[in-house]
Each structure stands twice: as structure tokens, then as C-alpha cells.
């Protein structure tokens, strides 16, 4: 029987991509202020990864959270890459604006997973990790080596994480990926508890997830966490979509029309985007990142904003959201 580790108080969490300097060079002091704001507004679910900033984000989360009562929050991080310190000249080019001096390799074997967890505990200073996500085991990250790494994970990561869960070392595990297929593949051959699905389910783009992902996780009793639920800032006006500078055809017009309708009902598109994700029974939490404390406050305010039922009816009538998508108030 799977235990729901994320409860009502974890519906809104915070993700660590921005704190890992994905979009700008956030300082240690700024990162601490963002996390302190999250804590002060009642956020109790914190998600990061050693990948973010080449271990920088994970260290920053640890520096903040080690001063909090451990049973007062849920912490998740990720496995799938191993890191080694290198001279600055040997740091590989990545999306991070100011990463630490590390190189990395993908490794989904049991030994690598155990080592990754041990290193995460050392970096954070925490005594345990609640949820472990298998990170970026997906074609968009490992390319045509996906079948090779999937088989490696089936023999390694999937088995060892189930064992660690059964031993009580971790509370839950699953995939943390930007595509649907890896979650389906994992459910087919293992028993994950919760998966972090990034970029696949948002108010702007969700049809494929409604048709293929949600029915599968529902049947398997697997919960979902939403990563990049704002399409890495596009919902709030950034000119990047799912971490890339290329905006899908027609998306600008769709965002503009949705924003206009939201304003008619005296809400923002962020308000609607957050409630849209959480309206789905399959999603236990949404974990938007933040580059500024104000963004954390905006997310908390969005959670507390009531969305008129007429707003959703209008979006569906204009076919701006999929007719099969669950919206607040629907079952």
C-alpha cells in the first residue's frame, strides 16, 4: 500500500532550478532570502538536484534546511549523475550561469545511486532524504543512449530505490523527467510511488499528458509532482518556453488570449496556471522555482486566490484548454 508522503500542506512547494543559477547568477545571500521567504509563507516541500548548478543548488537548500526541524518539511533530490571536482577550465558548458567546478557523468546503476544519495546527504547536512527522483533518464537528456540507460536503471536504480524504501532509508521514489515515456516505462517494470513530471502538464500544454500519462499513473496508484508548471516562466511573461528560447508556433497568441480572459475575471494567468495543475487528482504538488522572494509570495497568493468557474468555462468554450482536462470544481 503506497503512502501519500505529500499531504495538503505540501500542495505548493519550491523547486531549485533557479537557485542553481539557471537564469541568472543568484548569490548565496539571495538564495537564502528566497528560501527563507518560502519558509515564512508556509512552504514545506523543497525539491532540488545535484545537477542544478553542478551541486550548488543542493548545497544552498541544505544550508537553509539544516537549521529547520527535520520533521517539519519534505525534501526531495535526485540521482542519475555522479559529480567530480575539476579545475575551472575543465567545467563543461551547461545551462547554469555560475556553476561550481564539477564535471559529471550519467550513471543509473545501484552502486551509483547509493553513492549519489550519500553525497547528497553530505552536501546538504540533512540526516535523510524523503523522496528520491531518478533524474533526466529521458531521450531529451541522454539521446539515443536512452534504451541503454533504461536497462541500467531497471537492473540498478529501480531495484535499489525500492529496497531503500522498504528499509525505511527513503520514503518514496520515482522518475524526475521532462517527457512522458520514461514515467510509463518505469511504471511498466517497477513500483514507483511518485514522479516529478516537468513541462508535460501546464495550462498552456497538457493534451498528451491527459490522454497518456494521467490514466497510467491513476491505474498504478502513482502520484505526480508538477515541475515547470509555468513552462519555465513563459506563463508569467518570460520569453523562454520549457527552458528553451524557441517558442512553439501559436503559443504567443494562446498566452495573450488566456491572459486577456484572466484579466476580465480580475485574476492573473499565474493564478489560473497554478490552480489548473492542482485541479488534476493525479497531482499532489506543484513546485515552481523562484529567482526573487516576490515570486514566492506571488505563488502563495495564487494558491489562495479563488478562480471563478466561469473563467474555466470560457477557456473550454474557446478550446484554449483540452475538453478532457480536469479543472477546479470538476471530478
- What does the alpha-carbon distance between residue 216 and residue 187 come to, in Å, rounded to a whole number? 8
Cα–Cα nearest to 204, from 298, 313, 325, 297: 325
Cell numbers of 156, please?
540498478
Task: Examine the residue annotation and report whether 47 is marked as an active-site residue of this protein.
Answer: yes
Q: Which of 46, 47, 107, 223 is catalytic?
A: 47
Task: Examine the residue annotation and report whether 243 is marked as an active-site residue of this protein.
Answer: no
- What does the alpha-carbon distance between residue 153 and residue 56 come to, in Å, rounded to a whole number? 25
Q: β-pairing, 102-106 with 81-85?
A: antiparallel
Helix 28-40 vs helix 56-65: crossing angle, to nearest 10: 50
SS3 118: helix
Cα–Cα nearest to 283, from 3, 6, 94: 6
CA-to-CA separations, 74 to 77, 303, 313, in angstroms, rounded: 10, 19, 35
- What does the alpha-carbon distance between residue 325 and residue 1 come to, in Å, rounded to a whole number? 28
Q: Which of 52, 102, 108, 201 is catalytic?
A: 52
Cα–Cα nearest to 103, from 91, 117, 115: 91
Cell numbers of 263, please?
484579466
Q: Which of 56, 78, 171, 223 is catalytic?
A: 78
Task: Examine the residue annotation and report whether 316 is marked as an active-site residue of this protein.
Answer: no
- What does the alpha-carbon distance between residue 166 and residue 83 come to, in Å, rounded to a whole number? 27
Residues assigned a catalytic role: 47, 52, 78
Amino acid at each position: 500500500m503506497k503512502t501519500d508522503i505529500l499531504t495538503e500542506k505540501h500542495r505548493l512547494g519550491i523547486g531549485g532550478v533557479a537557485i542553481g543559477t539557471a537564469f541568472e547568477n543568484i548569490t548565496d545571500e539571495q538564495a537564502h532570502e528566497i528560501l527563507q521567504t518560502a519558509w515564512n509563507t508556509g512552504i514545506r516541500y523543497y525539491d532540488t538536484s545535484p545537477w542544478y548548478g553542478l551541486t550548488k543548488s543542493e548545497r544552498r537548500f541544505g544550508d537553509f534546511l539544516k537549521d529547520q526541524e527535520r520533521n517539519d518539511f519534505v525534501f526531495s533530490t535526485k540521482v542519475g549523475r555522479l559529480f567530480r571536482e575539476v579545475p575551472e577550465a575543465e567545467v563543461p558548458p551547461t545551462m547554469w550561469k555560475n556553476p561550481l567546478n564539477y564535471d559529471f557523468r550519467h550513471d543509473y546503476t545501484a552502486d551509483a545511486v547509493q553513492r549519489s544519495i550519500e553525497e547528497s546527504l553530505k552536501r546538504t547536512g540533512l540526516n535523510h532524504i524523503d523522496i528520491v527522483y531518478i533524474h533526466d533518464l529521458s531521450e531529451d537528456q541522454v539521446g539515443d543512449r536512452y534504451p541503454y540507460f533504461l536497462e541500467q536503471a531497471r537492473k540498478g536504480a529501480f531495484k535499489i530505490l525500492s529496497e531503500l524504501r522498504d528499509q525505511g532509508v527513503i520514503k518514496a521514489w520515482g522518475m524526475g523527467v521532462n517527457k512522458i515515456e520514461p514515467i510509463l516505462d518505469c511504471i511498466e517494470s517497477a513500483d514507483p510511488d511518485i514522479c516529478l513530471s516537468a513541462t508535460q502538464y501546464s495550462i498552456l500544454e497538457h493534451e498528451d499528458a491527459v490522454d497518456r500519462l494521467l490514466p497510467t499513473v491513476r491505474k498504478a496508484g502513482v502520484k505526480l509532482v508538477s515541475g515547470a508548471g509555468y513552462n519555465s516562466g513563459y506563463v508569467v511573461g518570460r520569453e523562454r518556453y520549457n527552458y528553451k528560447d524557441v517558442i512553439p508556433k501559436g503559443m504567443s497568441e494562446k498566452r495573450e488570449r488566456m491572459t486577456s480572459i484572466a484579466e476580465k475575471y480580475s485574476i492573473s494567468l499565474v493564478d489560473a496556471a497554478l490552480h489548473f495543475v492542482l485541479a488534476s487528482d493525479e497531482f499532489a504538488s506543484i513546485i515552481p522555482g523562484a529567482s526573487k522572494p516576490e515570486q514566492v509570495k506571488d505563488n502563495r497568493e495564487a494558491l489562495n486566490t479563488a478562480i471563478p468557474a466561469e473563467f474555466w468555462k470560457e477557456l473550454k468554450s474557446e478550446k484554449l484548454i483540452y475538453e478532457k482536462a480536469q479543472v477546479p470544481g470538476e471530478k
